[in-house]
Amino acid sequence: MRAGVGTALTMALPDGIARSGATERVSARLAAIPCDDRVEDGGPSHAGSGVVGFGSLPFDRAARGTVTVPALIVGRDGNGPEWITVVGHDLPPLPPEPKEHRAWLGNRIPTMGEADPQSSRKGAPPASPMIEPRISDETFEAMVARALGEIRQGGLKKVVLSRQVDVIMDRPIALPTLLSRWMVLEPGCGFFSVPTGERQFVGASPELLVERSGTAMRTRPLAGTSGRRGGTEGGGYGALLRSGKEGNEHRLVVEAIAAALAPFCSTLSVPRGPDLVQLHNLAHLGTALDGTLAPRGDGSVPTALDLVAVLHPTPAVAGVPTLAAERLIADVEAGPRGHYAGPVGFVDASGDGTWMIGIRAISVEGARARLSAGVGVVDGSDPKSEREEADLKLTAVFDALAPGCAFSTAVAADRRRAVS
């Protein structure tokens, strides 16, 4: 867990992570920033790892991005000690005694506790939020049909197509309440809330892009989806594990990621088959790849952000081959994806960090939220089934945003309202 308040430094990536040396420059600046780093009694002195940079990078790897160092950073790894890092000069110094830190924090950062099970029933938004799909169901199905045509012609094995839906509430969206509800709904996901200009990018991602701790590296791509039908491996989701179409989609992703990581690892463990990753209304095929990073000529190993640049975009959010998939995405989707399906996470001054893929996410501005969902199109896909899968993924997000309301995009323009 990492949380930050204020801004001590913003590092621009004018050409995203596409330009050579961009991630190395971020790492060098992080390592050079002085800070006051304090750890709870009994914790290792390196637990805070100094300065931490947070980022939500665009899906387009060549688009401008930023990594931000907060003025105040608080964190904890698992059940380990809590630590505090102060970077900003405008904050008063930390008290010398660790027992005084909690009170000091209480005046500067919202309480960071566990999700309250009752919070899913508190602050529920009013009924009938307005739902405005940016494209119709028929248009999305036509996009899938076109992708299938290109796959059959050869040269393209998989492409991930997304659609966007705007939801308008009758009052500004309360982000702490939304996140608290979401943590109850999807306890196995990774949560994030990052400012992106005038908007806040908030989500509960089930997909780990990459995690680095020292020389240990881990990634867990997801591909292949099924809706809840029975809720048990044998009764509802067992068919997902047996599906040839879903298995092929997943295999393409795992093979591409393993090939991208292999040159940077001395060991890389790739399981023979996927397992089930179950969420509240659907399940995915997931495979966890673990590796040991190999030292470079100077003895260093790639940082977490370096590995993001190696991997993004994976076939889980773009396709195979990547360039052909990206061309089709740019040609048929309603507009740029922005931060949807881009990397979101953090890297610290030692190079450790965790980055998720920004899916199951909402871009929030006041009372307005943009929801996005993508589907992997491969040989054997069906346009209607892929549209229904996109609806499932949109519903997974909508359930946190507007509990008790039904989600649908198949309504007339003058009746685009959720029904409670």
User: How many CB atoms within 10 Å of residue 369?
Assistant: 25
Q: Is 207 in the active site?
A: yes
* 3-class SS of residue 234: helix
User: For the chain, how many residues are written?
Assistant: 420
Pick left, alpha or beta for residue 299 (phi over 0 → left; psi -120 to 50 → alpha; otherwise beta). Answer: left
User: Distance between CA 318 and CA 253 in Å, rounded?
Assistant: 10
For residue 211, what is the enclosing H or E element? Answer: strand 208-213
Q: Is 158 in the active site?
A: yes
Angle at 224 between CA 344 and CA 307, to 5 degrees: 35
Catalytic residue among 186, 207, 211, 389: 207
User: Distance between CA 367 and CA 254 in Å, rounded?
Assistant: 38
- Amino acid letter, residue 179: L
User: Distance between CA 154 and CA 151 in Å, rounded?
Assistant: 5
**Are 246 and 380 within 8 A, CB to CB?**
no
Nearest of 302, 305, 303, 286 to residue 294 by alpha carbon: 302
User: Distance between CA 71 and CA 80 in Å, rounded?
Assistant: 23
Catalytic residue among 158, 246, 333, 386: 158
Active site positions, annotated: 158, 207
